[in-house]
A and B are shown apart, each in its own frame.
Chain A
Amino acid sequence: MSDPSELYQSVILDHNRAPRNYREMPEASAQAEGYNPMCGDQLKVWLRLDGDRIVDVSFQGSGCAISKASASLMTTAVKGKTPAEVEHLFQRFQRMVTGQDSGQAEQDELPARLVVFAGVREFPSRVKCATLSWHALRSALGGGRERPGPGGG
């Protein structure tokens, strides 16, 4: 890859400029923060559950285009999902951005709006940016035992 637009797809740029569900949620049933000590990016994710379903999810924070767009697209992808479904999506997403998936067929099972992040696999230093919001969401859902990442400089 040497064309920036392969990484920075127009969908990503759009969600960076105008992130969706970018708001606090006073009536949230759970919330969690994500912090990347390597770059100082931080964000907060709120969600509201109705029974076993996420009926609302939002985020706020500061970060690069990849982390902001990823958070924004994540919120649009997980609304209406159960925690188990979110976990499944996350696992697929993580495999894609780390280049561990088996290729196109596996990517096809992800919603198209998440596949725009496939280019991240070429940039190992940016994987954390793409997954920061997902880690926060999982910890808000009480799943995903997160260990703090390596220290920053």
Chain B
Amino acid sequence: MAPTLMATGNAAGSDLARLRRDFPILRQSVHGHPLVYLDNAATSQKPRQVVQAEADFSVLENANVHRGVHSLSQRATSRYDGARERVRAFVNAGHCDEIVLTAGTTAGINLIAQSYGGSVLRQGDEILLTEMEHHSNIVPWQLIAGRTGARIRVLPVTDRGELDLSRLPELLSTRTRIVAVTHVSNVLGTVNPILEIAALARAAGAVTVVDGAQAVPHFPVDVQTLGADFYVASGHKMYGPTGIGFLYGRRELLEAMPPWQGGGGMIQRVSFEETSYAPVPARFEAGTPPIAQAVGLAAAIDYLSALDWAQLRGHEDGLVAQAAERIAEIPGYRLIGTAPTRVGALSFVLEGVHPHDVGTVLDLRGIAVRASHHCAQPLMRRFGITGTVRASFAMYNTLDDVDALVAGLREVRQVFGG
């Protein structure tokens, strides 16, 4: 069982200290300084429970799924299906068949774009994206738009880094078939009002595809309440393994969709003349899936589920707020994204210093941040910048980490002046 969190503590706070012991990777030095890991939006660290579950499976239970009458294969199958059930409960989907296990968010969006998009989009139809999307919620849509003759339209972002919902009615037309939007911006931390967007999309006759990669590590998600038609996320950003993720899709939609990739495991009967496909979700899981990773994902969900979400959110919000307040004292600091509802990420620029140089000086102090365009070049262009420094927080970060970040940024100022 995972220990509980204190509202906001430093590493000495006993609950937080106990929680950090589940993440041995955090106990190391980088360039002679204790590691301060603030790149959680890129990938979070995994608790030993997740690593152990994956290892135990590989050491003791490894076999292929759905293929064997032998006991090990049946055990592997039930572990794999167990992971699917865990994901279902995690996002409160109505049925296990609505959960496709994927290689991650990117794979999920490509699947929806190719299979759903490929079958419904016609010349002149529209796909509505937003200006704050990650490249993986842009490029798959461009690929399918190119193939079908559909058109991409873009919902703009305001100066505060929120979606400009006032433009939504005008951008949602009778030609809109798909609205693809991120739940939480990986750059700005903005939490988007999915409920409202999905309702408007539905009224316009479009389905909503939600990129939940940055949401699921931070707050509970209920796909039924949200009214999302599709919802995708990655295991590795929610304390689970890489190479695994999930896609929720409303059952009627999934059932009407053609397969995307062909192979073993997704068929009913194959001959050279004709092949009939397996029912969902197997239809979308061609080939041997990432089984150990699915077991690890289930362990990550168990780990998260044992925590008190409200406490977790309070702790993380406290850290982001502290960091934002204290970094603001540094000369030339500009926060990118000032929406009132934000989680996880804090993006900023320091006047006169390139984000890369900030990242390198911080690295020399053992502080891991991301300095780049964060796979969101259109959003960078929107703010007239080429990149930001992004500090992104997770449950195991501490006020000491915030102190280290602020001290590191002061040093950046010393090195580069200004």
Q: How many A-B residue pairs have CB under 8 A?
A: 65
CB distance from A116 to the nearest CB of B (A): 15
Tell me whether B387 and A39 are in contact (CB under 8 A).
yes
Give 1 or 0 for each of A87-129: 1 = CB within 8 Å of chain B CB: 0000000000000000000000000000000000001001001
Q: Do residues A4 and B361 form an inter-chain contact, with CB atoms below 8 A?
A: yes
A39-B387, A65-B354 known; A2-B375 Cβ under 8 A: no
| Complex-state Cα separation, A126 to B411, whole angstroms | 20
State A13–B375 Cα separation when bound (angstroms).
28
Bound together, the chains give a CA A123 to CA B360 distance in angstroms of 8
B33 at the interface (CB under 8 A from A): yes
Please give, as numbers and ranges, the residues of chain A lying within 8 Å of B360 by CB-CB distance. 4, 7, 123, 126
Is B415 a contact partner of A5 (Cβ separation < 8 A)? yes
Would you call B31 and A2 a contact (CB within 8 A)? yes
CB distance from A69 to the nearest CB of B (A): 10
Residue contact B386 to A153, C-beta cutoff 8 Å: no
Q: Which of A13, A16, A40, A64 contacts B377 (CB 8 A)?
A: A40
Bound-complex Cα distance A5 to B361 (A): 9
Q: Which of B32, B357, B373, B415 contacts A40 (CB 8 A)?
A: B373
Q: Is the CB of A40 within 8 A of B387?
A: yes
B48 at the interface (CB under 8 A from A): no
CB of B272 within 8 Å of the partner chain: no
What count of chain B residues pass the 8 Å CB interface test? 26
Tell me if A40 and B354 are in contact (CB < 8 A).
no
How would residues 39 to 60 of chain A score, 1 for a CB under 8 Å from any chain B CB and 0 otherwise? Answer: 1110000000000000000000
Is A3's CB under 8 angstroms from B364's CB? yes
A5 CB contacts on chain B under 8 angstroms: 415
**Interface check A152, CB cutoff 8 A:** yes
B364 and A4 contact, CB distance less than 8 A: yes
Is A38 interfacial (CB-CB < 8 Å)? yes
Contact digits for A1-40, partner B, Cβ 8 Å, 1 yes 0 no: 1111101100001001100000000000000000000111
Residues of A contacting B365 with CB < 8 Å? 2
- A66 interfacial contact with B, CB 8 Å: yes
Instruction: Establish whether residues A39 and B415, one from each chain, have CB atoms under 8 Å apart when the complex forms.
Output: no
In the complex with contacts A2-B364, A64-B357, A66-B357, A39-B372 CB distance below 8 A: yes
User: Which B-chain residue is minimally distant from A120 (CB atoms)?
Assistant: B360
Residues in B with CB closer than 8 Å to A83 are none
Q: Per-position contact with B for A60-83: 1 when CB-CB < 8 Å, else 0?
A: 001111101000000000000000
Chain A nearest Cβ from B392, distance in angstroms: 14
A38 to B135, CA, bound (A): 13
Task: Flag if B373 contacts A4 (CB, 8 Å).
Answer: no
Kindly list chain B residues whose C-beta atoms are within 8 Å of the C-beta of A8: 357, 361, 415-416
Contact B356 A129 (CB under 8 A): yes
Q: Mark A residues whose CB is within 8 Å of B.
A: 1-5, 7-8, 13, 16-17, 38-41, 62-66, 68, 123, 126, 129, 152-153
- Pull 29 A–B residue pairs with CB atoms less than 8 Å apart, ordered by A: A2-B33, A2-B364, A4-B411, A4-B415, A5-B415, A7-B364, A8-B416, A13-B415, A13-B417, A39-B371, A39-B373, A40-B373, A40-B377, A40-B380, A40-B386, A40-B387, A41-B386, A63-B354, A64-B355, A64-B357, A65-B354, A65-B416, A66-B356, A126-B356, A126-B360, A152-B373, A153-B372, A153-B374, A153-B375
- 5 further A-B contacts with Cβ under 8 Å, apart from A4-B364, A8-B415, A38-B372, are A2-B33, A40-B377, A41-B356, A66-B356, A152-B375
- B contact set with A: CB distance below 8 Å: 31-33, 135, 353-357, 360-361, 364-365, 371-375, 377, 380, 386-387, 411, 415-417
